[in-house]
Amino acid sequence: GIQVEQSPPDLILQEGANSTLRCNFSDSVNNLQWFHQNPWGQLINLFYIPSGTKQNGRLSATTVATERYSLLYISSSQTTDSGVYFCAVVGGATNKLIFGTGTLLAVQP
Amino acid sequence: DSGVTQTPKHLITATGQRVTLRCSPRSGDLSVYWYQQSLDQGLQFLIQYYNGEERAKGNILERFSAQQFPDLHSELNLSSLELGDSALYFCASSVLEDSYEQYFGPGTRLTVT
């Protein structure tokens, strides 16, 4: 099956800093989503981005499907950005999301 | 708020017991997915239903079963519970079944003692 790798595994930032999170996947995909899991455990949809670039406020994402990677950019980070960021893909004949192991982000004031 | 609701939020039960987790998808969504998040296995797909019919199965144990009802809500039944079943169980929904964005509910945190 498709393998999803995320890097870095963890990241500590000072408030106001920028960061880039990466997601590599091993095969072509039909769907790619980025999620933020907050400290209360909720999974929040950030982007649905099987290809191209999208922006939402301080967050943006780019997926280069032909090269099998996606990037999540966080600018001017805030303490509320802390949590785990997951990349998940759908590929092949099923519709199940395959999750990466996540990037644990801690933003310090 | 994703529009997907799950009850209960927390559940504490003993080994050997049976529990039922409930999920209501977003209005208009026909497809429901169940995922399990545990410390050792990460987030894993369990099962998918589309308009009442089972569509795909993942790493779902035989002790677990699910169904989707005519009003499109879904239930996940976990029986003969073991300590290792302690996890966060998420339900997600999407409009159709083919590669559409999935929206997740707040999850049910199950603790088996």
Q: Residue B20's pLDDT is what?
A: 98
Quick check: A96 and B58 CB within 8 A? yes
How close is the nearest chain B Cα to the Cα of A26, in Å?
Answer: 17
Q: Does B43 touch chain A (CB under 8 A)?
A: yes
Closest CA to A46 of B24, B36, B103: B103
Q: Does B60 touch chain A (CB under 8 A)?
A: no
Q: What is the pLDDT of residues A66-77, one digit of tens each?
A: 999 999 999 999
Report the percent of chain B where pLDDT is more than 90. 88
Closest CA to B110 of B6, B4, B26, B5: B6
Residues 6+ apart with CB under 8 A from A59: A46, A47, A72, A73, A74, A75
Q: Residue B100's pLDDT is what?
A: 81
Q: What is the pLDDT of residues A5-63, one digit of tens each?
A: 999 999 999 999 999 999 999 999 989 999 999 988 999 999 999 999 999 999 999 99
Pairing of the two strands A19-25 and A69-74: antiparallel
Which one of A89, A97, A101 would you mutate to disrupt binding with B, by most B Cβ within 10 Å of its Cβ? A97
pLDDT tops 90 at residue A97: yes
Tell the burial category of B22 from Cβ atoms under 10 Å away from its Cβ (0-12, 13-18, 19+). middle
Quick check: B103 and A45 CB within 8 A? yes
Cβ-based contacts under 8 A for chains A and B: 56
Mean pLDDT for B38-56 is 93
Quick check: A41 and B2 CB within 8 A? no
Mean pLDDT for A95-103 is 93
Chain mean pLDDT for chain B: 94
pLDDT tops 90 at residue A82: yes
Q: Residue B99's pLDDT is what?
A: 61
Question: What is d(CA B11, CA A7) in angstroms, rounded to the nearest whole number?
Answer: 33
Q: Residue A92's pLDDT is what?
A: 75
Question: What is d(CA A2, CA B44) in angstroms, rounded to the nearest whole number?
Answer: 13
Mean pLDDT for B45-57 is 94
Q: Residue B64's pLDDT is what?
A: 97
Which one of A46, A96, A98 would you mutate to disrupt binding with B, by most B Cβ within 10 Å of its Cβ? A96
How close is the nearest chain A Cα to the Cα of B72, in Å?
Answer: 18
Mean pLDDT for B44-63 is 94
Cα A7 to chain centroid distance, Å, stands at: 10
Cα A65 to chain centroid distance, Å, stands at: 15
Which token pair is B66?
A: 């699910």
Tell the burial category of A46 from Cβ atoms under 10 Å away from its Cβ (0-12, 13-18, 19+). buried
Q: What is the pLDDT of residues B59-97, one digit of tens each?
A: 899 999 999 999 999 999 999 999 999 999 999 999 876
Q: Residue B59's pLDDT is what?
A: 84
